């Protein structure tokens, strides 16, 4: 059989990977279940290789891109993990203060893909900060499997405090206007929802397929732009109740559900990536930030 294509893969395989990537299946059971779909010349190894992320070949904006000033910094998170490392990026040619965006990673730390997303945001005309919530445990360890294991060792509310501290650091940065928003993916989508509750001065929040809060929704002050994949049943089941609460409390929000898109559709390093949905969602996100952050 030739090289695998997305059309060769059954939806159940993507659902299995979602369960594994979110710690609902141990690796051995995941591989066992995956073997069910290794038929017709498709091996378990080829399936696993195909659905796993390929970071180095998918970087859109390299770390040394001359259009950017991009460097790792540290900032203080007194209520969270102490000193946190993050990637700070901004346009190299800018001599004016810029609005800021916090970039929140998935459940595996600041991997190369999320670093890339931070640089993409900077290229769009913002100063971005992409923290690594795994810093207290040594930082992103180099693989997503190890990253997930490390992130499970941290309390998610302490990690929330790390991202709130990132907001404060970026808001007070000399190159920032003080207007700061947040965008996050999966775990980062939950963080983005929670930051909208916890930070009265947050100017905009964009959760990509993030878990929804069930309390204190009345405290949300930031406008929300929410992105969901149609096939992401796990996350989507919480959306109707959240939407009802947002409407009840008259909170500014816009939500999009992208047809035939999986959880993780924005991540271009795996076959769950949906180019049309991802590019549309990202363009909407940048335009939303330009409108809300000034």
pLDDT at 34: 87
Query: Token match 């998918």: residue?
Result: 58
Say which residue, 248 or 46, is predicted with more confidence.
248
Q: What secondary structure letter does DSSP report for 140?
A: -
**What domains are there in the chain, each with its CATH number?**
6-51 (no CATH), 68-293 (3.40.50.1820)
Q: pLDDT category, 2, cuts 50, 70, 90?
A: low
Q: pLDDT category, 4, cuts 50, 70, 90?
A: confident
How much is the average pLDDT of 56-80? 94
Cα(256)–Cα(288) distance, integer angstroms: 13
Q: How many CB atoms lie within 10 A of CB 184?
A: 27
Q: Give CA separation, 47 vs 18, 33, 266, 267, in Å.
A: 14, 12, 20, 18
| pTM to 2 decimal places | 0.94
Question: Which pLDDT tens digit goes with each residue over 136-190?
Answer: 999 999 999 999 999 999 999 999 999 999 999 999 999 999 999 999 999 999 9
pLDDT at 49 over 70: yes
Mean pLDDT of the chain: 94
Between the two ends of the chain, the Cα-to-Cα distance in Å is 52
Q: Give CA separation, 186 vs 75, 93, 106, 114, in Å.
A: 24, 32, 5, 12
Question: Which pLDDT tens digit goes with each residue over 198-230?
Answer: 999 999 999 999 999 999 999 999 999 999 999
Q: How deeply is 28 buried, as exposed, middle or buried, from its count of CB atoms within 10 A (0-12, 13-18, 19+)?
A: exposed
Query: Token match 């930031």: residue?
Result: 222
Q: How far, in whole angstroms, is CA 250 from its chain's centroid?
A: 26
Say which residue, 56 or 65, is predicted with more confidence.
65
């Amino acid at each position: 059989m030739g090289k695998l294509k997305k059309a060769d893969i059954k939806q159940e395989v993507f659902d299995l990977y979602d369960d594994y990537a979110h710690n609902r299946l141990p690796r051995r059971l995941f591989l066992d279940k995956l073997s069910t779909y290794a038929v017709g010349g498709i091996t378990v190894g080829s399936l696993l290789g195909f659905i796993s992320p390929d970071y180095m070949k998918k970087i859109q904006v390299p770390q040394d891109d001359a259009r950017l000033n991009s460097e790792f910094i540290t900032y203080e998170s007194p209520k969270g993990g102490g000193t946190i490392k993050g990637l700070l990026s901004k346009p190299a040619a800018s001599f004016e203060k810029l609005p800021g965006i916090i970039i929140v990673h998935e459940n595996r730390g600041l991997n190369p893909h999320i670093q890339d997303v931070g640089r993409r945001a900077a290229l769009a005309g913002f100063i971005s900060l992409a923290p690594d919530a795994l810093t207290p445990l040594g930082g992103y360890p180099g693989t997503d499997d190890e990253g997930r294991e490390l992130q499970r060792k941290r309390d998610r509310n302490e990690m929330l405090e790390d991202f709130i501290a990132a907001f404060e650091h970026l808001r007070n940065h000399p190159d920032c206007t003080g207007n700061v928003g947040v965008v996050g993916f999966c775990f980062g989508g939950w963080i983005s929802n929670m930051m909208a509750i916890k930070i009265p001065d947050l100017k905009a929040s964009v959760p990509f397929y993030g878990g929804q809060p069930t309390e204190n929704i009345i405290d949300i002050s930031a406008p929300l732009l929410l992105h969901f994949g149609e096939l992401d049943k796990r996350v989507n089941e919480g959306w109707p109740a959240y939407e009802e609460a947002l409407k009840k409390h008259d909170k500014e929000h816009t939500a999009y559900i992208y047809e035939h898109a999986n959880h993780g559709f924005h991540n271009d390093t795996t076959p769950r990536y949906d180019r049309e949905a991802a590019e549309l969602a990202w363009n909407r996100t940048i335009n939303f930030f330009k409108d809300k952050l000034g």
